[in-house]
Amino acid sequence: MVARAMAGALMALAAAAPLQAQTAAYTWTGMGTSVVDSSKCATYKLTIDVTVEGKTVKGVFHQQGRDERRFEAMLDDKGLFKTKAQVADGTMDVSGIITDKESRVLLDGYCKFEGKLTRK
């Protein structure tokens, strides 16, 4: 009888526990596009990996020949995010959207890197 009561209590606790936020992972690889005072951007290849857990967006980007960089942002109610990422000579603006219908990212700084995120 005690075992049944314990099992019932555990089931009640499990039912009352909040659901774990699901994690989604995305990636994009592509070439940069030029900005003012830069003509080499089209030769720069970048990979961006993004993970979303709840409303938290964490990203890692790596350009060939450069150090790996990270960013973190929060999704708003429309699925938009915006932050800055530290790079060697300053910062890059990072923005994007992640919803059921659309997922895109833009890194804008010494070059622009923009594209559709593909779900992993």
Query: Mean pLDDT, the chain, as a whole number?
Result: 86
74-to-14, 44, 54, 90 alpha-carbon distances in Å = 28, 28, 9, 22
CA 75 to chain centroid: 10
Q: What is the pLDDT of residues 41-68, one digit of tens each?
A: 999 999 999 999 999 999 999 998 889 9
Q: How confident is the model at residue 78 (pLDDT cuts 50, 70, 90)?
A: very high
Q: What is the pLDDT of residues 12-39, one digit of tens each?
A: 444 443 444 689 999 999 999 987 777 7
For residue 106, give the nearest of 71, 78, 77 by alpha carbon: 71
Query: In this model, does residue 102 exceed pLDDT 60?
Result: yes
Question: What is the pLDDT at residue 74?
Answer: 98
CATH architecture of 21-119: Beta Barrel (2.40)
For residue 46, give the nearest of 119, 114, 96 by alpha carbon: 114
Cα torsion 83, 53, 62, 113: sign:
negative
